[in-house]
Amino acid sequence: MSAFPLPPGSVIGILGGGQLGRMLAQAAARLGFDVAVLEREHDAPAGRVAAHAIEGAYDDPAALKSLADVSDVVTFEFENVPAASVAKLAELGAQVAPGPRALAVAQDRFEEKTFLNANGAPTVAFAPADSPEAAVEAVARIGAPALMKTRREGYDGKGQRWVEHASDAARAFAELGGRPVIVEAPAEFVRELSVIAARGRDGATAVYPLAENHHEHGILRRSLAPAHASPALTEQAERIARRILQGLDYVGVIGIELFELKDGRLLVNEIAPRVHNTGHWTQDGCEVDQFEQHIRAVAGWPLGPTAATARVEMLNLLGDEVDGWKRFAAEPETRIHLYGKRDAKPGRKMGHVNKVKPL
């Protein structure tokens, strides 16, 4: 068993080899850690910057054993880690952070909203359904129009359908694969915001300034941060973040997506138990960025300061937009973060830029 705080030279294991894992690995390296990445694909963005790249499925017992053997702590860069893999890692003696409760809550939209409401974090009204008849009843109860989402495995707006009338509910349920769903009331939001927050092994918490987020076709296009926000709105976001972190007995960085309503109230849309795309601005706009913060937290180090040092517009580079790197490189206000992905498929997150202005 590792003793915390982990000293430099220890190994941080990361389940998942995408861009979030890559930027976590880069932050870990800055603090003197080595990184082991477990990823299915050869040549993954994170594996290419890690000391140990282990190839295998996330539920491959031999690959999990290699990861557990080499790592002093194991974390992950995506939330759909099979629960059995986390149990296996624990059985192999690995310390896993964030823990299985955070994963279980974030993997299922019904569990998530139930947890949030029970912990004083408000959401839209919702109802679960696991049959076409129950779906019709759920839409009737919540009121149409309503948004039907699969309980598990939706991301970037995938796995959801608007239902205009209760009579359309059974068809929407079938179109979503006949899997368990939740039906949500529409949030009449004026802005989509997010807050990135962290909790250390000692229970200390740190909350970043709010970001304002703009999506296109369900994919994050840009974030503006720090978002213009009244002290009351900021305080509300911080209160929500701390309640969630404490309710999950969380260790690490969490991303919390919020809807701001006309009357100034915040509702939580969803939580991601990991570093988050809407927190990329912190790399060039905050004292300690979300990636270093996550490594500090899981390694048992004190959390770093989260204050903004600049105003940032973060733009995701999707597909062949990454070919604009020459233009971005010539802009003095632009910081470039490319993920080293070989294949620029349409809509794929290839990199991002942070356009930085003084506060």
- The residues that touch ligand AMP, with contacts defined as CB under 6 A, are 124, 147, 154, 157, 184, 186-187, 192, 215, 218, 257, 269-270
Q: Is the dihedral of CA 61, 62, 66, 69 positive or negative?
A: positive
- Burial label for 165, CB within 10 Å (0-12, 13-18, 19+), is exposed
Reported residue count of the chain is 359
Kindly write down the DSSP assignment for every residue of 158-224, as one continuous string.
Answer: -SEEEESSGGGHHHHHHHTTS--EEEEPPP-EEEEEEEEEEE-TTS-EEEPPPEEEEEETTEEEEEE
- Closest separation in Å from C-beta 192 to ligand AMP: 5
Q: Which is nearer to ligand AMP, 147 or 163 (CB)?
A: 147
Task: Work out how close the CB of 270 gets to ligand AMP at its nearest, in angstroms, rounded to a whole number.
Answer: 5
User: Phi, psi (5° rounding) for residue 108?
Assistant: -135, 115
**Mode of pairing for the β-strands spanning 349-357 and 311-318:** antiparallel
CB of 102 to ligand AMP, least distance (A): 17
* Minimal distance, residue 184 CB to ligand AMP, in Å: 4
Radius of gyration of the chain (CA): 20
Min CB(178)–ligand AMP separation in Å: 19
Q: What are phi and psi of 75, to 5 degrees?
A: -130, -175
Angle at 353 between CA 349 and CA 356, to 5 degrees: 155
Hey, what are 35's tokens? 């990184």
Side chain identity at 48, as an amino acid letter? R
Give the nearest distance from C-beta 49 to ligand AMP in angstroms: 28
8 Å CB contact between 29 and 6: no
Residue, CB closest to ligand AMP: 187
SS3 state at 246: helix
Three-class DSSP category at 338: strand
Output the smallest distance, CB 81 to ligand AMP, in A: 18
Question: What 8-state DSSP symbol labels residue 309?
Answer: -
Longest dimension (CA), the chain: 60
Nearer to ligand AMP among residue 124 and residue 166 (C-beta): 124
Q: Measured from the CB of residue 34, what is the shortest distance to ligand AMP in angstroms?
A: 34
Closest contact distance (angstroms) between CB of 279 and ligand AMP is 15
Of residues 4 and 173, the one with the C-beta less far from ligand AMP? 173
Q: Could you tell me if 133 and 173 are in contact, meaning their C-beta atoms sit under 8 angstroms apart?
A: no
**Shortest reach from residue 147's CB to ligand AMP, in Å:** 5
**What is the residue whose two structure tokens read 């930027």?**
23
Q: 305 or 347: whose CB is closer to ligand AMP? A: 347
Output the six-digit token pair for 171. Answer: 């068809």
Query: Please, which residues bridge with residue 307 across strands?
Result: none
CA dihedral 15, 21, 27, 31 (to 10 degrees): 20
